[in-house]
């Protein structure tokens, strides 16, 4: 809730400082999101220390993705049932407990349990943050707000491999969690002073069957995609899981339209701007996550760089993304979405094309420049589009729009890595040696390029302004 365009007010009409409120939200989200990719470069050392194979180790990442993905749709119901202050402490408390379990783990089972508990907090925190950021800023400044969100959502997973690579090169992998814990504690402490209740509760009735359908459908779909990403699409289990997940999600969707109080309000898709922006942003994140998996494979397997060196190659792009996101937000507030989306997608498309032609001799500086240019385009378009989509919804649907936006993005991000790695693997199986790997990487990047072109075309159908006056 806002009071004119000055400081926001809570549900009791009391004015409070926006800066502290936003700081706590963004810091909490940064800590939870960075864990999505924090273990990527640490898996080999974890495998050796806990005596597990690659398939078991992959579950440390897969389980986090599955649980957080399942929790995201539930956030819309919880935000209207539990005060946002209480929900924040539940999310960060769960994440803190999971971090402690991970740090103290001496077996694979306890480490996996810790990751699951962490993921519960992460799945709640991301849509909670996005919803509250929309509520605490007036409509004409939401681009600025989501520019800050863009730093967190895209920047944190981008720098995680670099940070992780440095830590595991010099310390044991448990320090990944030891370092996080005091920061999480400070953030929770600050929240006692700065976190306010700003959402009036409607306390909808819980439809248990919808909750079950949502969890089973998303869980099955994400599991199937994850299996495909790990062992390839030729695995029958991945297809069966994906088909079951899609069928259950269709049943869930049909049920929502019949309920007087839907568990998740799917009428948000009646807004063309919301629908198009959600699809385009999902495709962008799809190619981003896939590229962040393929590039380290290229730099480590073809260029023979270390994990830390590989992470450092991605770091300038992450910094560009962090710088451009708030600038893009202000440009959106001033000029609307259409122009900035077209410019951003053009840059992203042009910068993605050379990755189809990587060779062993491709200069490292050229890769750094191209990746940074891709991040520039991504930063110009991703969060402004997400902002335009949710801006087109009435306030009462913002929590549902945020939940749906994040759920779709989570599914597409997982799907992107599965498709790009799957295409790379299928190509490698038909050739031999480094030339086969290069061919596979080029084909994987080619799939990303075609997806980006499709997203670029969709941008032509977005209106520059589509907002609602409904509260």
Residue showing tokens 């078991």: 56
DSSP E strand stretches across 182-321: none
**Residue 67 in this model has a pLDDT that exceeds 60:** yes
Q: Give the pLDDT of residue 334.
A: 84
The model's pLDDT over 280-311, given as tens digits with 9 standing for 90+, comes to 989 988 888 788 778 878 887 888 887 677 77
With a CB cutoff of 8 Å and minimum separation 6, the contacts of 242 are 220, 221, 224, 225, 228
Task: Over range 201-229, report the average pLDDT.
Answer: 86
The phi, psi pair for 468, rounded to 5°, reads: -125, 145
The architecture that CATH gives domain 268-471 is Up-down Bundle (1.20)
What distance lies between CA 366 and its chain's CA centroid? 27
Q: Say if CB 23 and CB 190 are below 8 A apart.
A: yes
Q: Say if CB 99 and CB 184 are below 8 A apart.
A: yes
Name the pLDDT band for 154 (thresholds 50, 70, 90). Answer: low
Mean pLDDT of the chain: 85
* Sequence ranges of the domains in the chain: 1-203, 205-260, 268-471
With a CB cutoff of 8 Å and minimum separation 6, the contacts of 4 are none
Look at the pTM and tell me if it is higher than 0.75: yes
Which tokens go with 98? 């999971």
**Residue 244 in this model has a pLDDT that exceeds 70:** yes
Task: Over range 387-391, report the average pLDDT.
Answer: 86
Name the pLDDT band for 249 (thresholds 50, 70, 90). Answer: very high
Q: Give the pLDDT of residue 240.
A: 93
Partners of 9 in beta bridges: 15
* Angle (deg, nearest 10), helices 54-79 and 43-50: 110
Q: Is 127 exposed, middle or buried (0-12, 13-18, 19+ CB in 10 A)?
A: buried
Name the pLDDT band for 3 (thresholds 50, 70, 90). Answer: very low
What distance lies between CA 257 and its chain's CA centroid? 27
Rounded alpha-carbon distances, angstroms, from residue 79 to 73, 94, 136: 11, 17, 15
Q: How far is Cα 125 from Cα 95, in angstroms, rounded to an integer?
A: 9
Name the pLDDT band for 466 (thresholds 50, 70, 90). Answer: low
Other CB atoms closer than 10 Å to residue 391's CB: what's the count?
25
Same fold, 1-203 and 268-471: yes
Half-sphere exposure of 392 (CA within 13 A, CB side): 25
The CATH fold of domain 1-203: Growth Hormone; Chain: A; (1.20.1250)
With a CB cutoff of 8 Å and minimum separation 6, the contacts of 241 are 220, 221, 223, 224, 227
Other CB atoms closer than 10 Å to residue 55's CB: what's the count?
11
Task: Over range 320-326, report the average pLDDT.
Answer: 85
Q: How far is Cα 386 from Cα 380, in angstroms, rounded to an integer?
A: 11
Q: Say if CB 130 and CB 358 are below 8 A apart.
A: no
Task: Over range 54-65, report the average pLDDT.
Answer: 77
- Name the least confident of 127-136, 411-420, 442-451: 411-420
First to last CA, the chain: 11
**Residue 115 in this model has a pLDDT that exceeds 50:** yes
Share of the chain above pLDDT 90, in %: 28
Q: Give the pLDDT of residue 143.
A: 81
Task: Over range 111-140, report the average pLDDT.
Answer: 88
**Residue 1 in this model has a pLDDT that exceeds 50:** no
Partners of 144 in beta bridges: none
Task: Over range 128-152, report the average pLDDT.
Answer: 82
Task: Over range 190-202, report the average pLDDT.
Answer: 89
Q: For the chain, what is the largest distance between any 2 Cα atoms, rounded to a whole number of angstroms?
A: 68
Q: How far is Cα 320 from Cα 297, in angstroms, rounded to an integer?
A: 22
Name the pLDDT band for 432 (thresholds 50, 70, 90). Answer: low
Length of the chain in residues, anyone? Answer: 471
Q: How far is Cα 1 from Cα 200, in angstroms, rounded to an integer?
A: 9
**Residue 367 in this model has a pLDDT that exceeds 60:** yes
Q: Give the pLDDT of residue 169.
A: 77
Share of the chain above pLDDT 70, in %: 94
The model's pLDDT over 162-195, given as tens digits with 9 standing for 90+, comes to 777 788 778 888 998 998 899 999 999 999 999 9
Which tokens go with 418? 């599965």
**Residue 13 in this model has a pLDDT that exceeds 50:** yes
Task: Over range 146-174, report the average pLDDT.
Answer: 77
């Amino acid at each position: 809730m806002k009071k004119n365009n000055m400081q926001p007010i809570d549900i009791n009409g009391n004015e409070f400082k926006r800066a502290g409120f936003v700081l706590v939200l963004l810091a909490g989200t940064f800590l939870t999101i960075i864990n999505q990719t924090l273990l990527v470069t640490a898996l080999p050392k974890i495998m050796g220390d806990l005596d597990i194979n690659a398939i078991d180790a992959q579950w440390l990442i897969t389980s986090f993705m599955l649980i957080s993905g399942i929790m995201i749709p539930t956030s819309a119901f919880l935000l209207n049932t539990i005060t946002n202050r209480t929900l924040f402490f539940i999310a960060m408390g769960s994440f803190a407990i999971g971090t402690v379990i991970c740090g103290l783990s001496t077996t694979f089972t306890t480490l996996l349990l810790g990751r699951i508990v962490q993921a519960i907090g992460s799945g709640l925190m991301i849509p909670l943050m996005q919803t509250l950021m929309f509520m605490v800023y007036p409509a004409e400044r939401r681009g600025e707000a989501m520019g800050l969100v863009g730093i967190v959502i895209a920047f944190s997973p981008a720098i995680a491999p670099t940070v992780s690579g440095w830590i595991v090169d010099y310390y044991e992998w448990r320090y990944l969690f030891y370092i996080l814990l005091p920061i999480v504690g400070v953030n929770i402490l600050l929240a006692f002073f700065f976190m306010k209740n700003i959402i009036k509760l409607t306390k909808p009735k819980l439809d248990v069957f919808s909750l079950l359908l949502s969890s089973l459908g998303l869980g099955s779909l994400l599991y199937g995609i994850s299996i495909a990403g790990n062992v390839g699409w030729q695995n029958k289990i991945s297809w069966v899981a994906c088909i079951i997940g899609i069928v259950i999600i269709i049943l869930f969707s049909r049920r929502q339209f019949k309920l007087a109080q839907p568990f998740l309000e799917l009428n948000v898709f009646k807004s063309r701007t919301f629908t198009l922006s959600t699809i385009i942003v999902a495709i962008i994140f799809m190619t981003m996550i896939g590229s962040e998996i393929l590039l380290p494979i290229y730099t480590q397997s073809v260029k023979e760089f270390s994990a830390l060196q590989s992470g450092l190659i991605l770091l300038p792009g992450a910094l560009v993304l962090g710088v451009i996101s708030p600038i893009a937000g202000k440009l959106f507030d001033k000029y609307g979405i259409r122009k900035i989306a077209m410019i951003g997608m053009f840059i992203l498309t042009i910068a993605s094309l050379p990755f189809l032609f990587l060779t062993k001799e491709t200069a490292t500086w050229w890769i750094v420049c191209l990746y940074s240019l891709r991040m520039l385009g991504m930063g110009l378009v991703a969060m402004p589009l997400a902002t335009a989509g949710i801006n087109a919804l009435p306030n009462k649907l913002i929590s549902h729009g945020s939940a749906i936006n994040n759920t779709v993005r989570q599914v597409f991000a997982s799907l992107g890595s599965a498709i790009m790695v799957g295409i790379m693997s299928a190509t490698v199986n038909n050739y031999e040696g480094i030339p086969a790997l290069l061919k596979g990487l080029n084909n994987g990047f080619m799939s990303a390029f075609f997806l980006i072109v499709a997203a670029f075309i969709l941008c032509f159908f977005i209106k520059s302004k589509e907002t609602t006056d409904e509260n």
